[in-house]
Homo-oligomer: A and B are copies of this chain.
Amino acid sequence: MSAKREKILESKARKSQEELMGAVTLENITSDPRSQTVPTPSLRRLPLYLRLLRDYQAQGRTVVSCTQLASDLRFDPTQVRKDLALTKVGGRPKVGYPIAELIAAIEDFLGWRRTIEAVLVGVGSLGTALLGYNFSLYGLSIVGAFDSAPDKVGQVVHGREIMPIGYLTNFIRQRGIPMGILTVPASAAQSVAEMMVAGGVKAIWNFTSAALQLPDHVLVERADFSASLAVLTRALAHGARSLAPTIPKKEVT
């Protein structure tokens, strides 16, 4: 049976990857006993709740039920309850959850109370947009911007002077920056990512379509436009026939 060895081979390949995969992106980095394996889908939904909760709070409300949140997000109420349970904030029957507490708990859970510093590399269209965006509500602060184009270096974009790419690694190292944001062309992504890693970043937020090859201890998160686009286009192209008529039927609002 030559099949025996084959299994071993593919299995080995799987094993070595295991530490980076799926929900695991989080778990293997997590040794903090508080953080039980958090379901990644739940983790990704938490910012949505947070956003809504802030709205409610701005409207002067102090409590909110799962039912309300679920209805606004078109989620299942039970799912909302499960997700919120992660924060350990308890709700009261017939009333709901205390909004202020929940906001604080979610922010804490996500690490958005304490600001994380990041550098951004590639001040093109997208990089410029991100530089202009205020991430303070998301616990993020972009403290340095880098580019390789000579005409960009020295320019001030949204209050930050663009530095030459050659300074990147040292800047990260000296300041102990934990995160790099990648908005260079895909072709430059790997080499820039390696510079970031050389400087010591622990995580990379990758807006390019490149599949980065980096050491396992670096967490790479794709901010992938194409994934969500795929869901849309697939539905439009293959399901359009059954979509509702152009003039929408009246719905409950």
A interface size (C-beta, 8 A)? 99
Do B43 and A236 have beta carbons less than 8 Å apart? Answer: no
Contact mask for chain A residues 177-209; partner B; CB cutoff 8 A; 1 contact, 0 none: 011000000100000000001101011010001
A247 CA to B229 CA in the complex, in Å? 37
A223 CA to B247 CA in the complex, in Å? 26
List B contacts of A243 (CB < 8 A).
Answer: 29, 202, 217, 219
Given contacts A200-B248, A215-B248, A251-B216, contact A116 B237 (CB under 8 A): yes
Do B230 and A110 have beta carbons less than 8 Å apart? Answer: yes
Do A203 and B74 have beta carbons less than 8 Å apart? Answer: no
A132 CA to B185 CA in the complex, in Å? 13
Tell me if A101 counts as interface (CB < 8 A to partner B).
no
How near does chain B come to A47, taking the closest CB pair, in angstroms?
4
Given contacts A110-B233, A248-B218, contact A35 B178 (CB under 8 A): no
A140 CA to B231 CA in the complex, in Å? 13
Tell me if A213 counts as interface (CB < 8 A to partner B).
yes
List B contacts of A217 (CB < 8 A).
Answer: 243-244, 248-249
How near does chain B come to A220, taking the closest CB pair, in angstroms?
9
List B contacts of A78 (CB < 8 A).
Answer: 10, 14
Do A235 and B47 have beta carbons less than 8 Å apart? Answer: no
Do B129 and A31 have beta carbons less than 8 Å apart? Answer: no
